[in-house]
Structure 1
Amino acid sequence: MNRRDLFRISTAMGLTVAFPGTGNAKPQTASGAGDKHAPAKLNPLHPPAEGSIPVAFLLSDGAVVIDFAGPWEVFENVSIPGSATQLAFKPYTVAETAAPITASGGMTIVPNYTFATAPPPKVIVIPAQSAPSEAVLAWIVNATRTADLTMSVCTGAFLLAKTGLLSGSAATTHHGAYTQFAMEFPDISLKRGARYVESGKLASSGGLSSGIDLALHVVERYFGRTVAINTANTLEYQGQGWLNPDSNLAYAKRRVSTDRHPLCAVCDMDVAKATAPTSVYRGRTYYFCMSAHKELFDASPARFLVG
């Protein structure tokens, strides 16, 4: 999945700082006491007395593979001491219809369930994907009512925001979509440079691999730090972004476009100056990674020049 495809998806919707050594990390309690990267407060989630936690992965055409496959592997590999056979989480895919879905890179996925047949989820994962229908938005709203947590990954935040559930709350998304997200949803507090953001029963992560960190954080909220670390070790995942929601600070400040190294005025993506679409606004030339972003800019140039 390349960045150009990613932003085509975000446009259609209406639109690392690495800490090595997780495998050697010292297990802590769920409170994170003594860990300098631990969140100030861990809001625990409560697993059922018996049975697995159902996790619904909402998919449609264009779903970005790492956005859902990364968290899927996290939830699938959670092992609880003293429970050798029971799965802690039960992930499944759900879509508006049972028709095969074409994900990023051409992967074909047959959903496990439709909205009509899916079991009620306790965790909902919304990756970047195509523009949602009214039925998709309605399912998110209805399923969230009884879920413990609804989380978006990357530009999946656009889908979650379109439900209205995030209104008045904070959220994050892929760093290349910050400007567009802030413009489209002014009633949501956009957190630049956040690996993930929690807002009550809702959570959002930054781009792509950030979903793995949010999923590990969710595991910690249910089962504590030791189980989350053991899960990361099983996956041989060395990132520690899940221990520090502010670990995306490399993306907190917007990149500066120059005449020598121009960036897309909408998403900050590097562009080829000789071939990129351009617009002139107030005597200055602006470059774009694709025609769709030029069209967005041309409709309201001044809004893209703030922040």
Structure 2
Amino acid sequence: DCDVCGQSFSEKKQFNAHIRVHTGKKPIICDTCGQMFSRRSSLKAHMRIHAGHRPFVCDICGRSFGQKTNLKTHMMIHTGSKSFCCDFCGQKFYRKSHLSTHTRIHTGHNRYPCDVCGQSFSQRSSVNRHMKIHTGEKPFGCDVCGQTFSRNAILHTHMRIHSGYKPFGCDICGQWFSQKRSLTIHTRLHAGHKPYSCDACGKGFSDRTNLKIHMRVHSIEKPYCCDVCGHRFHQVTSLSRHMIVHTELKSFGCDVDMATQNAENTLAVNAKATLKEEGSQN
């Protein structure tokens, strides 16, 4: 019998596979994408995604899935059913696994701390992976672009950028992603969930990276520089828009110096207009 949940098994092999549910151990790895599993049967079901085999079809919208459990989860979108509820805060989830992950926030069930920074983890293997951040060890290299990674699983995920493979699909709109993290961030857009907020102005973001980019607006940091006129910008998108000024002027036969002067004049006019507008409001 399992000491944790009391479930009984007739074979030791079944018990060993079951106990991984409680320990979180996932020794079985998908060679295609690097995703890890506790059971070989889970890997077998997962491989249908890569093979394009989707035998389970939604009767309502026609969307198909490689696993029956994914179809059941998808059906909750049509029914609005979130049957797994957190006993601490009342938040509801479609999947039990999502509830289990969420519950750790309340219980603080992270028994394995990092000796360097103090961050704690629920699994010893997670600490070992985390330690490579401090050591800088990146033994896994990409044969295409040369980028190196601390984990083989991350390299597998990275390779999808070169292959164009996108195994993670949004159940709501059908958009596909090469990384599970990208799907998670995308899903927040549908839910309107923006967990990362700016301390300066309160603006919310669904992704930590977008928050970091936004914070440059409040700071003096302008890392993106125009090679033509030297003007600097907070974001690369702003630099790209600015470069159109130089491109358009050069297409009409202006030399670089003239393009630079016109760009600077444009910026000066915009600055004066802004000051005039601010003065009229005071």
Q: TM-score, normalised by structure 2?
A: 0.24
Structure scoring higher RCO (CA < 8 A, sep ≥ 6) equals 1
- Select the structure of larger CA radius of gyration: 2
Report the TM-score, using the length of structure 1 for normalisation.
0.22
